[in-house]
Amino acid sequence: MNEVARDAYEVVRDSGVIEEFTSQGRIVNSREVPRAEWPYAFPGAAYLIEHERVPFISYPYEWSFSELKAAALHHLDLQRLAPRT
């Protein structure tokens, strides 16, 4: 994530909503990777976030209308519940 998104990310991270959403199964677990562990130099990067591996990958073009609708409603719920920056 670049410097432009730093403040917004820190507000969300510090609010505890990431842990809350993770414990509720709303989002996958993730962690901030310490700079010493970054595999490459990322100039301009503020953070490197590593997400838990998802065991099954599917793509939206494979989904039915009801699956797309459920995904859209899920995203809207996350936006509604997330803190404002």
String of DSSP letters for 55-83: SS---GGGS-HHHHHHHHHHHHHHHHHSP
* pLDDT given for residue 40 in this prediction: 84
Domain of 14 in residue numbering reads as: 3-81
What pLDDT is recorded for position 85?
62
What would the pLDDT profile of 1-24 be if each residue is shown by its tens digit?
A: 777 889 888 988 999 999 999 999
pTM of the model: 0.76
Tens digits of residue pLDDT in 36-64: 999 888 888 889 999 999 899 999 999 99
Q: What is residue 43's predicted lDDT score, i.e. its pLDDT?
A: 80
Total number of domains in the chain: 1
Residue-level pLDDT at 25: 92
Sign of dihedral through CA atoms 58, 63, 69, 72? Answer: positive
